[in-house]
Amino acid sequence: MQTETLKVTGMTCGGCVDVVTRALVAVDGVHNVNVSLPNKEATVDFDESMTSTDKLAFAIEKAGYGVAENSAVATTTEGKSGCCC
């Protein structure tokens, strides 16, 4: 089991937290997800033999949000806003 914390960009409300949480839970191998709006981050426990931080970041991006440069996985979507509102 591995735990990663990813800085998520574009979240502005509880609905955003729900969208990011659902996107991460849907990834095979993910066991636990805790998304924090105040900290703008997602902490994910996952089976590293089934998924990777790259796949987690992809799931966040596919949901319409970004992963900040200082996360475990750097992406180029820092300014992206996926707010559900």
pLDDT tens-digit readout, 19-53: 999 999 999 999 999 999 999 999 999 999 999 99
Give residue limits of the domains in the chain. 2-67
The model's pTM is: 0.84
Report the CATH architecture of 2-67.
2-Layer Sandwich (3.30)
Looking at residue 68, what is its pLDDT?
86
Instruction: Give the number of C-alpha atoms closer than 13 A to the C-alpha of residue 5, restricted to the C-beta side.
Output: 5
pLDDT tens-digit readout, 55-82: 999 999 999 999 987 655 544 444 455 5
Distance CA 25, CA 17 (A): 12
Looking at residue 6, what is its pLDDT?
95
- Identify the H or E element spanning 43: strand 41-46
Looking at residue 78, what is its pLDDT?
45
Edge-to-edge order in the sheet of strand 2-9: 30-36, 41-46, 2-9, 66-67
Looking at residue 20, what is its pLDDT?
97
Single out the residue of 78, 22, 75, 1 nearest to residue 42, CA to CA.
22
